[in-house]
Structure 1
């Protein structure tokens, strides 16, 4: 429970409800991306556009997701988490219907942007309600449980997506996103109570006051450290999400169901990382757990960069499974970093958790959008087009930057100014 607002254990939602809600809300992000990736190579021929143009269905989702968080975060601090969750999930469901019925790329891109807006509400509130209920280290522990649930969802999703795309096509695959969001909406409506007490809600702020609030949040060293960490580790993962379907299906010639297994294996190792995080947090703390994650990020990145060097030296494509060890190690590191960084982002802001969560997410998504723009150019550049280099060099760079942040900024500024304790 929050150190700034001690609450009796009986006043907290049941633990299984919190963990299930976190799993569903956080799991909506990989469902919105990973599940449809096996269908991505089908879209250019169906819609009559280039492979680079289809990348906008992912890029615009991330862009809308980032911008919308700046709206939903303050709204959830004022109105509470529950109404924002209900509105965001309902929007995601309606946008999913539009993606299935889209006659062309333009409508599909607009509908994906609307999904990004709904997704933003889900993730902002999921991260913020952790600070509503728990202290930073308790929150990281509970969040690791929710992210383990996300890992299971992400494990099953790409397999289902690959089979569905191969047998029923990309439109049916996109319909599954709406089904998942609808199930999440029903669970939140039936089971999750409001987590933000009335006396901790903020009054409406003017534009100048809002800018001053964000400025104050950004000046907090712990916020900067963990926002940079979550952005860098997600940046490397985003390279995988954006480039992997073309790298594996088009370059390495694996089937869509097998690519679904590749995606599922990434989720399995990510799940392993969250389980290790849960085990090590009580003994190593946030910064100690992040140190181990840094070694995984760096090792995985070096493996991928080394494959690019080997490919250039031998002019030979590696086996698909030779690519995987580096990606798996990176995924373990991502599973260690994410619970720590997402809990650390809101740790210093018990009364502004929604705004802090939103600002961090906005920064992360703009970085991901920038990466997608570079990838779109990279994937058309002679010497890069039709190769593994956008994937392997991108993940390699992401691993190096993540390790630098984790071993530098986070070690200097990653501990709460005042160690807080609460009754579990």
Structure 2
């Protein structure tokens, strides 16, 4: 498959989807929903679990640092799993890895529901993350197998829209589950949900990577060789930087916005939940634009336009702050909704470009893309955390700088693609 940026935009009709064998595949909404649900297992488990952390701490009499391990360790496991487990999908196929990932998530959730202590709960959460990482990569690899050329960006945007709908309501669902049966009910819900997904994959999802196209068997180093092969392809590291820089604006905002609500705007922290919905809805709108007009406009336009829009949103927020506006809407509309609209245009498109460049090792490609997002997110969160939390300026400058770097890499694309 040639790089997506070399394919001319298709202006009419819908391109057929093919597997690696050349067999035409009928796309259906049910399959996309199933794959999106498998992809969102990790983020959903985290968002459902976070409201239960105080109750977990109280039940086990743990310190804040100890209970935070049930959050931080799974994040590390997820990030590493995206890279280390990605090659498995290129070696053994997408379907077995997807089934294995969901099954491991079930085991972790069941262990978490029965955990007698905090240590075992942390181990259970790590197992959840490893399973969800494998499910994430396998699902995305299936989408890449079935989405030729520029159709991949539309497919990624479509999946992201479905995931955002789920993530928007996850904290409220977590509160409901906790009120019903305590924090263990959250883990039990994970078991039930994953069992449904496991049955759906077993019954409805067929293999999309033919044996002839799979990586050759070998040792552990041979298993990681596809990752190295992808990394050394011209321009791939730059694409990872673009993906990571774009994504980093979202967690950077989430990490500091609750503090800004109290220290910069004098509002109770509970109000953050009401304004939070602007972020996923902005990204949702950007994804919807990609689905509606992406094939007509093409990647050559979507990435710089989306990034520029996000940068202008940062500048607008800076202007409002400089004018002395101290209301949450002055932050959440430009730096929340509008910035995420721009990310919704650019992020799925540059992700699709990166994965297309990694073909046929798309499992490794998706793993590296996900890892780049996690690493750059951690860097951005640490950077904004170094400064005072009573001013939005560090956040705005960090996000603005990230967008400028993405545009600089895009302007120099002719050089690094020919390297």
Same fold (TM over 0.5): yes
Give distance in 2, aligned partners of 1:322 and 1:165: 33
> Does the 8 Å CA contact 1:61/1:112 hold for their aligned counterparts?
yes
Unaligned runs of 5+ in 2: 1-15
Q: How far off is 1:354 after superposition?
A: 1.0
Task: Note if 1:368 corresponds to 2:368.
Answer: no
Q: 1:165 to 1:322 in 2, by over 3 A?
A: farther
> Does the 8 Å CA contact 1:304/1:327 hold for their aligned counterparts?
no
* Superimposed CA distance per residue, residues 275-312 of structure 1 (whole angstroms, 9 cap, x where no aligned partner): 012223113212311122213432444566678878xx
> Which residue of 2 is the match for residue 351 of structure 1?
360
Aligned 1:237-316 pairs, distance under 5 A: 237-243=250-256, 252-255=267-270, 259-302=272-315
> Which residue of 1 is the match for residue 106 of structure 2?
93
Q: 1:245 to 1:103 in 2, by over 3 A?
A: farther
Q: 1:323 to 1:183 in 2, by over 3 A?
A: farther
> Which residue of 2 is the match for residue 60 of structure 1?
73
> Which residue of 1 is the match for residue 332 of structure 2?
324
> Which residue of 2 is the match for residue 422 of structure 1?
none
Aligned 1:20-419 pairs, distance under 5 A: 20-40=33-53, 43-51=56-64, 54-165=67-178, 169-209=182-222, 213-243=226-256, 252-255=267-270, 259-302=272-315, 318-325=326-333, 326-371=335-380, 378=385, 384=388, 387=389, 392=392, 395-413=395-413
**Higher deviation after alignment, 163-172 or 53-62:** 163-172
* Superimposed CA distance per residue, residues 162-217 of structure 1 (whole angstroms, 9 cap, x where no aligned partner): 44456755443454444433332222122111111222111124455456543332
TM-score, with length taken from structure 2:
0.81
Give distance in 1, aligned partners of 2:189 and 2:258: 19
Give distance in 2, aligned partners of 1:26 and 1:362: 14
TM-score, with length taken from structure 1:
0.80
Q: 1:4 to 1:129 in 2, by over 3 A?
A: closer
Give distance in 1, aligned partners of 2:404 and 2:413: 14
**Higher deviation after alignment, 140-149 or 19-28:** 19-28
> Does the 8 Å CA contact 1:57/1:109 hold for their aligned counterparts?
yes
SS at match of 2:217: coil
Q: 1:147 to 1:89 in 2, by over 3 A?
A: same
Give distance in 1, aligned partners of 2:235 and 2:382: 29
Q: Aligned-pair RMSD on alpha carbons?
A: 3.6
Give distance in 1, aligned partners of 2:193 and 2:261: 26
SS at match of 2:206: coil
> Does the 8 Å CA contact 1:65/1:120 hold for their aligned counterparts?
yes
> Does the 8 Å CA contact 2:258/2:269 hold for their aligned counterparts?
no
Give distance in 2, aligned partners of 1:178 and 1:289: 39
**Higher deviation after alignment, 229-238 or 203-212:** 203-212
Task: Note if 1:7 corresponds to 2:25.
Answer: no
Give distance in 2, aligned partners of 1:107 and 1:303: 47
Q: 1:301 to 1:158 in 2, by over 3 A?
A: farther
> Which residue of 1 is the match for residue 9 of structure 2?
none
What is the number of residues matched between the two proteins? 400
Q: 1:32 to 1:412 in 2, by over 3 A?
A: farther
Give distance in 1, aligned partners of 2:396 and 2:178: 30
> Does the 8 Å CA contact 1:237/1:395 hold for their aligned counterparts?
no
Q: 1:324 to 1:22 in 2, by over 3 A?
A: same
